[in-house]
Structure 1
Amino acid sequence: MTTFLSNVNNSIPLLQNKRSVLGSLTNRPLNQINTLKQKNVNQEINNCKVPKKQKQPSLGTVQLKQSNERIRKYDESSQQSNTTKKRFRKNQKSKSNPKKETTKTKQRKKSKKTKKIKKAKTKSHPIDPKEISKITDIHRPFSKLPEHVTEIADEITQNMRIKEKKDHIGEDFLHTQSQVNDKMREILVDWLCNVHINFEFKTETLYLAAKLLDKFLLLKPVSINRLQLVGITALLIASKYQEVNTPDIEEFVLVANGAFTLKELLKMEIIMLTILRFRVTYVSPYFFLQIYLKAAGIELISEEFLKLKFLSNYFLELTLLKSHFRKFCPSKLAASSIYLAIKTLDLNSNSNSNFNSIGNKNVLNKSGHNSKCWSKTLIHYTKFHTEQIIDCVILISKLSNQLCSFEQSEENQTPNIIKKYSDPDFYSVAMMKIPLIKKN
């Protein structure tokens, strides 16, 4: 208690001192007090102020100035060079003959005029709407099926037409061969057709095997003893390229009845691929035939369509036997085979048929534009008139009649293609009467 009182007593004089100070302040007028306060505040603010630094130019602005100066100097130099070039050209023109310049200018003006005239002609002669109405769109019923690729189908066919011209072999591809002739090749291809049937391969593999064989015979001479080996290796490579499930290589050796060994087959496969430079993709006539069958204008489910399909396939496979058919491009072979198939079905059918029967005439008119069996849709999609196909059609009709007239004997047996298509599963198409097509 005593300590507390002593602290209180000690604090009293301090309070008295504070009051004396306040009393002295209160005695002064208010204006003087405010001025004193403002002075003290201003002094403190001035003491706290930091001197302003001078702004230095940034690196970006320096670089921009340098770049602008460089651009300006480059523009000045380029303008000077352009002026010197123009002067040099004017001097050269003045030195050259003025007559030649006039002729060149005239030629340019003429070329421009001709281009304008061509454009005007194309605009002034549009396609008749009547002709367009007669052409049916074959891709429309398959538009919902993505595997048919109807949006790009026309572009694919155009690219295939360009590619078939590049890969064209010609009928004289056996001129490099000293021991192999056309007859030996025919026997080999017929035997490959039999092997193709036994293995139950696709039709594309047969066409590809024949193409690889002909390409190899064009590039390298082959002996008679190795001809069968070359043919079976071509079929083996084609099966690896086209088929999903290929048979074992030993089965290809067994088919040949010991004509060669497994090591020889593998070695020949390496040789063939190296000579062909591993180029195995070629345009097949079967590709074009599938498009042309859609353009024939027959229902795809009907029996008439199946007959047309098997018969056109029969004629197209017959072209593989003879080497002189290699002078025709694949699209032309497909068009001529389907034309001949329509003619044969017209000949063997009744009057009430979907093939627009023109009477049992076996003569092809020279003015093929008006022929009833070759519609405008077929002309549009095949890009061939009957006048352009006539040579190929005549050769196929002759060959088919010759092979059908052969008698079976040990020396002259019927080809395996005829045996295949004489089966009732293929509507025995090979047994039909085939017309002999001739020119007028």
Structure 2
Amino acid sequence: MERVDENIRAISKQSTGIREMGNRRALRDIENLVRAPLPYACTVTKKQLTEKNVASHRPMTRRFAASLAQKEQGPPVVNPPTSVSSVATSHEADHKSISDSPIPMVEELEDMSGESEVEMEDVSEDNSLLDIDSADAKDPLKVVDYVEEIYKTYRNIEETSCVDPEYMAMQPDINERMRAILIDWLIEVHYKFELMDETLYLTVNIIDRFLERESVPRKKLQLVGVTAMLLACKYEEVTVPVVEDLVLISDHAYTRQEILDMEWLMVKTLQFNMSVPTPYVFMKRFLQAAQSDRQMELLTFFLMELCLVDYNMLRYRPSLLAAAATYTAQCSLKGCKFWTKTCQFHSTYSEDQLIECSRLMVDLHQKAGTGKLTGVHRKYSTYKYGCAAKSEPALILLE
């Protein structure tokens, strides 16, 4: 009888506890609701790579295999293993996973078979292809098994996200300058609302695809901008700004019903096609291929957002813009032209294919702090964004 009473009291206590919790916001309390994510956290940085992962990126040579075997077995080995099987056997003896051992390159296999006597250590590491996904092999969210297929699909369908670079000529009441003012303002709104990075790129893409198909009067251009951001938020964000917030941020220039009516018109015009590859998805991959650090990531995104404002950059497809921004950032930080075989392989672009776009980016970088449209420069001049705007432009690309 006492046990029954105890159970009743326990249940009553739990019920009281539930009532006391009230309307708690569980996601926010456990910090699952990401409001202001660290920029570009999905890319792999050098600091995230462990010592073991760094070793797995190094080309396998007989000398390197010998040093690994000595480290695993303890005492020096007179005859170091010269084949993949012998290296694997030494690792199995210590119950090591095969995925933990470095993967031999094609040149090393030729060297082991006796067909070539060239030592891989004579070859610069920058000239060899790195396995950029090895560090993410155990992370199911990185989908390493088919990540290449995903980006192959992106490249195949990225044309659907492109617009006619001359579409503004068909607009009777707006021009390139008005578009630039709108995008510059939206970048500040995006920053104020602390939205995801993906949201900004999709917002600009929706605006351009809609303006390519519909004539918009000057007084409705800002309405198109805030509505495009609302649509992008619904697609990318965990929590979406309410329509009243957009009415407020536009200084009550439009009513709630006008925003909803424009939303209906835009999704109808675009046939509800919001799933298009923007430069953002390609930048994540290319920065990973470049083994970037935070400084390079921020500089790359600074250059890319300058391109969002400039109407002339619509002539380039998203993947080329992303590759050129990555290349330009590397050249800026290193002070020389720098584009590895790994970057070229994953981006599918050579330096010659990027140089024209990169030079335009350098020009935008030089002028970013001048004129009236300085929203991007002010944003990336803050400590939150590493003062990336204050980096030296890659003037070497202009020579």
TM-score under structure 2 length normalisation: 0.67
Matched, 1:418 2:383: no
Matched, 1:228 2:203: no
CA contact (8 A) 1:339 1:374 kept: yes
- The whole-number CA distance in structure 1 between the counterparts of 2:188 and 2:236 is 18
CA contact (8 A) 2:128 2:341 kept: yes
- The whole-number CA distance in structure 2 between the counterparts of 1:315 and 1:346 is 16
Matched, 1:274 2:268: yes
Match of 1:436 among 382, 395, 398: 395
Gaps of 5+ in 2: 1-105, 109-119
CA contact (8 A) 1:397 1:437 kept: no
Q: Which amino acid aligns with 1:321?
A: V
Q: Which residue pairs with 1:183 in the alignment?
A: 177
**Residue 225 to residue 201, structure 1, CA distance change in 2 (3 Å):** same
CA contact (8 A) 2:210 2:270 kept: yes
Q: Which residue pairs with 2:284 in the alignment?
A: 290
Q: Which amino acid aligns with 2:374?
A: P
Matched, 1:330 2:318: yes
Gaps of 5+ in 1: 1-126, 299-304, 348-357, 359-370, 407-411
Q: Which residue pairs with 1:342 in the alignment?
A: 330
Local SS of the residue matching 2:169? coil
How far has the Cα of 1:403 moved from its partner? 2.0
CA contact (8 A) 1:394 1:437 kept: no
Local SS of the residue matching 1:226? helix
CA contact (8 A) 1:397 1:435 kept: yes
Match of 1:388 among 350, 353, 373: 353
**Could you list the per-position Cα deviations for residues 310-354 of structure 1 after superposition, in whole angstroms to 9, with x for gaps in the alignment?**
00010011110011111111111011101111111123xxxxxxx
Q: Which residue pairs with 2:362 in the alignment?
A: 397
How far has the Cα of 1:166 moved from its partner? 3.4
Task: Give runs of aligned pairs for residues 311-326 of structure 1, distance below 5 A.
Answer: 311-326=299-314
Q: Which residue pairs with 2:297 in the alignment?
A: 309
Q: Which residue pairs with 1:219 in the alignment?
A: 213
How far has the Cα of 1:186 moved from its partner? 0.2
Q: Which residue pairs with 1:99 in the alignment?
A: none
Q: Which amino acid aligns with 2:209?
A: K
- The whole-number CA distance in structure 2 between the counterparts of 1:439 and 1:244 is 42
- The whole-number CA distance in structure 2 between the counterparts of 1:437 and 1:207 is 29
Matched, 1:263 2:253: no
Q: Which residue pairs with 2:115 in the alignment?
A: none
Task: Give runs of aligned pairs for residues 17-416 of structure 1, distance below 5 A.
Answer: 134-298=128-292, 305-347=293-335, 358=336, 373-404=338-369, 406=370, 412-416=371-375
- The whole-number CA distance in structure 2 between the counterparts of 1:322 and 1:394 is 14
CA contact (8 A) 2:160 2:276 kept: no
The count of residues paired between Structure 1 and Structure 2 equals 279
How far has the Cα of 1:179 moved from its partner? 1.1
- The whole-number CA distance in structure 2 between the counterparts of 1:437 and 1:316 is 19
Local SS of the residue matching 1:174? helix
How far has the Cα of 1:241 moved from its partner? 0.6
How far has the Cα of 1:128 moved from its partner? 6.2
Q: Percent identity?
A: 32
- The whole-number CA distance in structure 2 between the counterparts of 1:214 and 1:204 is 16
**Residue 416 to residue 204, structure 1, CA distance change in 2 (3 Å):** same
Local SS of the residue matching 1:225? helix
Q: Which residue pairs with 2:77 in the alignment?
A: none
- The whole-number CA distance in structure 2 between the counterparts of 1:135 and 1:281 is 31
Q: Which amino acid aligns with 1:227?
A: L
- The whole-number CA distance in structure 2 between the counterparts of 1:180 and 1:135 is 47
The structure 1 segments of at least 4 consecutive aligned residues displaced by more than 2 Å after TM superposition are 127-133, 165-168, 435-440
Superposition CA RMSD, Å: 1.8
Q: Which amino acid aligns with 2:393?
A: I
How far has the Cα of 1:437 moved from its partner? 4.9
CA contact (8 A) 1:176 1:220 kept: no
- The whole-number CA distance in structure 2 between the counterparts of 1:293 and 1:435 is 17
Q: Which residue pairs with 1:352 in the alignment?
A: none
How far has the Cα of 1:386 moved from its partner? 0.4
**Residue 258 to residue 297, structure 1, CA distance change in 2 (3 Å):** closer
How far has the Cα of 1:296 moved from its partner? 1.2
- The whole-number CA distance in structure 2 between the counterparts of 1:128 and 1:275 is 53
How far has the Cα of 1:439 moved from its partner? 5.6
Q: Which residue pairs with 2:71 in the alignment?
A: none
Q: Which amino acid aligns with 2:278?
A: S
CA contact (8 A) 1:393 1:437 kept: no
**Could you list the per-position Cα deviations for residues 232-253 of structure 1 after superposition, in whole angstroms to 9, with x for gaps in the alignment?**
0000000011001112111110
- The whole-number CA distance in structure 2 between the counterparts of 1:437 and 1:214 is 32
**Could you list the per-position Cα deviations for residues 135-167 of structure 1 after superposition, in whole angstroms to 9, with x for gaps in the alignment?**
011111101000000000000000000011233
- The whole-number CA distance in structure 2 between the counterparts of 1:263 and 1:403 is 37
Q: Which amino acid aligns with 2:360?
A: L
How far has the Cα of 1:169 moved from its partner? 1.1
Q: Which amino acid aligns with 2:280?
A: Y
